[in-house]
Structure 1
Amino acid sequence: MSKMLFFLEQDKKTPSLMVLNPPSPSPSIFKEKESASQLPSMTKAVPYSSVVQQADSRAPAHDNPHAAPTRVFSFSSSVTTSSEDTVLNEDDDENCVMNPHTPPTSEQVFTTPHTEFGHCANEAYRCVSKHDYTKPFQERAIEEPPLYVCFATCVSILILYMLGRLRDFFGKRFAKSYFTHLMPHNGYAQLNSDFESFYLRRIKRRMDDCYGQPITGVPGRTVLILDRYSPDYNHTQIYTGGMTRALNVSSYNYLAFSQGRGSWADAVAESIRRYGVSSCGTRLDSGSNDLHVCAEALIAHFLGAEDALVCSMGFATNSTFIPGLAGKGSLIISDELNHTSMRVGIQQSGAEVRIFKHNDMASLESLLREVISQGQPKTHRAWKKILVIVEGLYSMEGTLVNLPRIVELKQKYKFYLYVDEAHSIGSLGSRGRGVTDYFNIPPGSIDVLMGTFSKGFGAAGGYISGPKSLIDALRLRSHSGPYAEAITPSVIAQVVVSMASIMGVTPAPRPTKSTLFPGLDSSIVAPKESAEELPGMAPASMLPMWMNLRPSLADGSEARMRMRRLAFNCRYLHVGLKKLGFIVYGHVSSPIVPLLIFNPGKLCLFVRMMRARPIPIAVVVVAHPATSFNTGRARLCPSASHTKEDIDIVLRACDEVGGILDMKHGSCERWGIDEVCERAVELVHSV
């Protein structure tokens, strides 16, 4: 909530910028920020960099007059001012398609600052996210690096371990003050086990400047990173007061709905005015209001399900609802790479658990035959229930579930299917409805669909959808229903606006009054459409009466544009990295692009070198225990806010840094970086 309020306040300070990206723009640059007194008066068209400089310089100076200079992400372009305060009224609804070679006029304006959302008018940089059934499903491809890379990785881990153990041995004897938490002290046992905390102390702490980088503002196309340094090998971090604007490929803001201005922010502001800044109580008492009922009805309609249930936290959605689905005498079959939230829920359920190889349908079918024929342990009775749990899109591997084959197995072996769409909902499918939409499979084929709002919808929380009888039971049996607090009204308002903009809203007459909740038609709590196919636009009666959407949001045109841009960016980044010689995991349509680095010593170097480039790039690396020791990776996340030129910048940076760090071990036919950038459209449509 504090972040949302901060975004709303920043909206008053940050000028709205109008920039068009031509197909071949001049190179982006970074400049040291000038003071506000040195900036020229902007009464006519000026370079975009000057506007961003002024916007970035005023915000930190207001909070900290002693702040250090800020590096600024800028583009060479032009803007048109409309007031003495250089605030431009922008409208990317009516003017998102323009001649990229013609300078914008005063009538061609946008509502989103260019630093939050890159405005791109070139229709060639679009793609539709759907499965091509004329081609075989892309199985998980594990490309192994050369043997010398594996050997060097193992040797480096061994050296790190030996040196760390030597430092612990001598440190406990000659520098006891630094190791009191690892030794018994004054009759008390040690606070930490030196073996269990070894990785955190000796490896991760040395890379802590690469993890959890503090940011401020909206995590959109660019992001403001708070500058800091450490004089003691990351035991402590000291903030300088300055900020660095970097190109952001590290956030889950897939459709760029997390914005500081626009209909999304307006709806949040209005919900705060009507309902306050926080909720009180649990889902079963006064904490739930008309917005929650509206959201649940809209989610069910969006997914083509009978009913839905929302939860205030995505992790808790899995960990608290799965125990309500299965128990003693039931069997849960889980993919080996399922998220920790699902593993926690499975452990708490008390059901028997079996694991199959990641996305391996032969392994799943073999396991199904075994467990069905053998029955329960000892008694060999038939299982009360068999529940198969998978993810739609796996967050560490970027792989897409083989849903068509799983549905075939479901029809053959009669088990229940639970699909976690935390990363796939909103980001996959021609209509943004997730894996069922991507594969064009009726959502009624899946028994339980779970998802979160923190990725594609720019909010927080999660949902469960399925048959109404099941959802009614989960409202009482799950831990979240009776005990957890409801989602804050401002957050649920963001969910409603985002989901409605993806679906589009039919101009239907609104009800004059409701006997259940004011502003909400009680007849739409359970949608009437069949769950066998995805419904179209949402009836206007599903939205609160005070919530008005701009025309481009109401007809769904803006959300479709964002989904097509996201699909293009994902494919372009994935295929471009492979053509440059990198080993990349995952599906080509995945918004998660794992770039394999392998050696743990290179992880921190990759982050620091990308951040230290003339155009800083914010990236995230993943290491043990999220992955194995020898498969460390950078996890790049493009979004709809990025332009084609932004992806070019990322590819050029990876090409240069990857060459220095010896990361190009892929077996794909290699192209030069200039050829990749020039033939981007051809690459995207060739896969």
Structure 2
Amino acid sequence: MAKNSPKQKNKSYSNIGFNTPVPEHPSLNEVYEDTPFSEAFWTYLNYVILNIFGWFRDLLRNARIENRKGSAENNPPGFVPLYQSYESFYTRNVYQRIADCFNRPIGSVPGGTLDLLERVTDDYNWSFNFTGDKVKTINLGSYNYLGFANNSGQIAENVINSIKTGGVSAASAAQECGTLTQHRKLESLLAEFLGTEDAIAFGMGFATNALNIPTLVGKGCLILSDELNHTSLVLGSRLSGAVIKVYKHNDMIHLEKLLRDYIVSGQPRTHRPWRKILIIVEGVYSMEGSLCKLPELIELKKKYKAFLYLDEAHSIGAMGSRGRGVVDYWKCDVNDVDILMGTFTKSFAAAGGYIAGKKELIDHIRITSHAQTYAVSMSPPVVEQVISVLNLLIDENEEHEGRQKINQLAWNTHYFRQRLTKMGFIVYGHPHSPVVPALLYSPSKIAAFNREMLKRGVAVVTVGFPATPLVLGRVRFCLSASHTKEMLDEVLKHAEEVGDLLNMRKSKLNPKRPFHETEL
């Protein structure tokens, strides 16, 4: 999908004040409305029924009365099955029935609109046949926050031209022959954009966390991790060998209590002081849409002489008046965050990740990280994509494309959240977060909402257990600068219709009522 020019965007929003950036209000609190009793009751009942029928069908399968519809391993005699166990109970009996509304192949660029390929299955989603048809939808399911996921325009031309000179792969690890001039340029621009002394880039965002946390902490160290941290952070923490303690999400009182208790008690058995204490948090939590309380975290880490690791995968580019993440949003000093981590897969529409901070930190990572020693460095065209986006974001001219996209995302977020809340949906997250979860609760509603929205030409991501707590299944709208007001209005119209169909508009804090644009 071709990009709108800044001029077209201004024209589109001129009658509703888009040209003026949305003011930030860091003091705004996140509100998490309690689950209505009726929804909790029916959700638990749904899962009880699913379990009863699931166990009954497993019994029939074991007795060979019913054929197994999902994947199964033919184990050699005497071997223990690898995955046909209780852990795959949900996959066998629930997910196989609803997977068709979650996993659909994409036949276009994941921009403001999206082409989904039509397919049919005769064996409970174990295999598919493509019909050859495409469904054009408004895309509310991609992390394309700034709308740079395009296959045309100047950035796309820069990427194509870079292939002619740099090829498609460095074909080597960074510590051997895989560090090119482009990589150094990218890291220099990153440090300039973030305001840090140095930065280092990696080819995979997940590995940036999983392989670099072990280079920072190890045995004799303590990690304090938010309970909703991403799997990559959890894996990296476990690989490090450090002691891990989890605190309640965004609960600074609980975090401080853990800091006090474990500083007093010291290491297990020996009670010696901890070698290091590392607090690990995310900027924007992708399932909740919440923001970390960065000013309070900085205050605590200074008070107790700890280090702070901030994962900005979903906040870099998407938060702050200059797109520099939650550090920018909260107006904090970047030097107060010891380790700044982020990915290029969202706002930059590329691949890979980075770590930024003091030069001594980055030099240490360059030497010790397995991601530098064993993994192929970033592909040159991917590096060029990130460099081209960074050049736009560093430019602070309000009339230029980078700042226009940041402002448009902020406006879209404000508008969509306000409208959805006024409709009576139970909406989670921070008022300025571009990740907008609306609660569905019941597993039957999770699949139904996805399918009903698709029928109306809207692609959304719906999520349930085990990715969320049992009674907090949800639809997760991901907003983008590539969305126009007309697109958002159409999505909201359909959401209201499907919300009534599924009895979703049950907020007691914001009972459904008409919305007027003067409220923005």
Which TM class, normalised by the smaller chain length? over 0.9
2:403 counterpart of 1:560 = yes
Residues 1:680 and 2:517 aligned together: yes
Match in the other structure for 2:435: 592
Aligned partner of 1:637 among 478, 485, 488: 478
Contact conserved, 2:505 with 2:512, CA < 8 A, in 1?
no
Q: Indicate whether 1:370 and 2:213 are aligned.
A: no
Equivalenced residue count is: 519
Q: 1-side partners of 2:83 and 2:268: how far apart? A: 38
Amino acid at match of 2:5: D
Aligned AA (2:494): A
Deviations 1:315-337 (A, max 9, x none): 00000010001011111111011
What one-letter code is carried by the residue in structure 2 that aligns with 1:452? Answer: T
Q: Tell me how far 1:278 sits from its aligned partner.
A: 2.2
Counterpart among 583, 586, 601 of residue 426 in structure 2: 583
Residue 181 and residue 251 in structure 1: after superposition, are their counterparts in 2 closer, same or farther (change >3 A)?
closer
State the partner residue of 1:662.
503
Decide which of 366, 369, 379 is 1:488's aligned counterpart.
379
Aligned partners of 2:32 and 2:429 also within 8 Å: no
Question: Is 2:34 the counterpart of 1:92?
Answer: no
Stretches of structure 2 that go unaligned for 5 or more consecutive residues are none
CA pair 126-377 structure 1, distance change in 2 beyond 3 A = farther
User: Quick one: which of 163, 173, 188 aligns to 1:282?
Assistant: 173
Distance 1:645 1:383, change over 3 A: same
Tell me, yes or no, if the aligned pair for 1:431 and 1:437 is still in contact at 8 Å: yes
Q: Which residue of 1 aligns with 2:148?
A: 257
Contact 1:254 1:638 in 2 (8 A): yes
Residue deviations 1:242-281 (CA, integer Å, cap 9, x gap): 1011001100000001112111101101101111122210
What is the CA–CA distance in structure 2 between the aligned matches of 1:605 and 1:462, rounded to whole Å? Answer: 35
| Offset of residue 421 of structure 1 | 0.1
Distance 1:97 1:187, change over 3 A: closer
Instruction: Point out the more displaced range, 153-162 or 403-412.
Output: 403-412
AA of the residue aligned to 1:92:
S
Structure 2 counterpart of 1:86 = none
Amino acid across the alignment from 2:25: D
Given candidates 94, 97, 118, the residue that maps to 1:203 is 94
Looking at structure 2, the residues matched to 461 and 193 of structure 1 have their Cα atoms a distance apart, in angstroms, of: 33
Residue 130 to residue 433, structure 1, CA distance change in 2 (3 Å)? farther
Q: Structure 2 counterpart of 1:380, which letter?
A: H
1:601-644 deviation digits (Å, cap 9, x = unpaired): 1111111100112xx00000112221122211111001001111
Q: Tell me the alpha carbon deviations over residues 16-37 of structure 1, each in whole angstroms, 9 at most, x when there is no partner.
A: 6xxxxxxxxxxxxxxxxxxxxx
1:610 aligned residue (453, 458, 482): 453
Q: Distance in 2 between matches of 1:185 and 1:282?
A: 39
- Deviation of 1:132 after TM superposition, in Å, equals 2.6
Matched letter for residue 182 of structure 2? L
Distance 1:377 1:681, change over 3 A: farther
Per the alignment, do residues 407 and 137 of structure 1 end up closer, same or farther by CA in structure 2, a change over 3 Å counting?
farther
Distance 2:109 2:170 in 1: 24
How far does residue 131 in structure 1 lie from its aligned partner after superposition?
A: 4.1
Q: Does 1:459 align with 2:350?
A: yes
User: C-alpha displacement at 1:178, in angstroms?
Assistant: 3.0
Residue 627 (str. 1) matches residue 465 (str. 2)? no
Q: What residue in structure 2 maps to residue 153 of structure 1?
A: 43
Q: Could you tell me whether the CA contact under 8 Å between 2:224 and 2:247 is conserved in 1?
A: yes
Decide whether the 8 Å contact of 1:357 with 1:363 is kept in 2: yes
Q: Report the 3-state secondary structure (helix = DSSP H, G, I; strand = E; otherwise coil) of the residue aligned with 2:386.
A: helix
Q: Is contact 1:130–1:428 with CA below 8 Å preserved after alignment?
A: no
1:128-161 deviations in Å (ceiling 9; x for gaps)? 466435xx4414x331232121111001100011
Alpha-carbon offset, residue 172 of structure 1: 2.1
Could you say which residue in structure 2 is the equivalent of 1:61?
none
SS in 2 for 1:308: strand
Instruction: Tell me the residue number matched to 1:315.
Output: 206
Residue 361 (1) aligns with residue 252 (2): yes
> Where does 1:300-449 land on structure 2 (aligned, <5 Å)?
300-449=191-340
1:169 paired residue number: 59
C-alpha separation in 2, matches of 1:154 and 1:645? 38
Q: Unmatched 5+ residue regions in structure 1?
A: 1-13, 17-89, 99-118, 505-536, 538-551
User: In structure 1, what is the Cα distance between the partners aligned to 2:505 and 2:96?
Assistant: 27
1:116 match: none
Cα distance between partner residues in 2 of 1:593 and 1:93: 25
Q: CA deviation at 1:492?
A: 0.5
1:215 aligns with 2:106: yes
Distance 1:374 1:137, change over 3 A: farther
Counterpart among 397, 415, 434 of residue 572 in structure 1:
415
Question: Taking every aligned residue pair, what percent have the same amino acid on both sides?
Answer: 43
With normalisation by structure 1, the TM-score equals 0.73
CA contact (8 A) 2:6 2:404 kept: no
Residue aligning to 2:25:
132
Residues 250 and 620 in structure 1, CA contact (< 8 A), matched pair in contact too: yes
Structure 1 residue 231 displacement after superposition: 2.5
Task: Please tell me whether the aligned partners of residues 125 and 681 of structure 1 are also in contact (alpha carbons under 8 angstroms).
Answer: no
- 2-structure distance, mates of 1:564, 1:411: 33
With a CA cutoff of 8 Å and minimum separation of 6, indicate the structure with the bigger relative contact order.
2
Inter-partner Cα distance in structure 2 for 1:204 and 1:156: 14
The alpha carbon displacement at 1:175 in A equals 3.5
CA drift at 1:187: 4.8
Q: Distance in 1 between matches of 2:4 and 2:277?
A: 51
| Contact 1:129 1:429 (C-alpha < 8 Å) held by counterparts | no
CA contact (8 A) 1:145 1:665 kept: no
Q: CA RMSD, aligned part only?
A: 2.1
CA distance in 1, matches of 2:7, 2:477: 31
Return the letter of the residue paired with 1:151.
F
Q: In the aligned structure 1, how far is the partner of 2:255 from the partner of 2:266?
A: 16
The 1-side partners of 2:182 and 2:318 are apart by 24
Compared with structure 1, are the counterparts of its residues 622 and 96 closer, same or farther at alpha carbon in structure 2 (3 Å cutoff)?
Answer: closer
Give the residue type in structure 2 aligned to 1:174: R
Q: Which moved more, 1:567-576 or 1:454-463?
A: 567-576
1:177–1:659 Cα change, 3 Å? closer
Q: Secondary structure at the match of 2:150?
A: coil
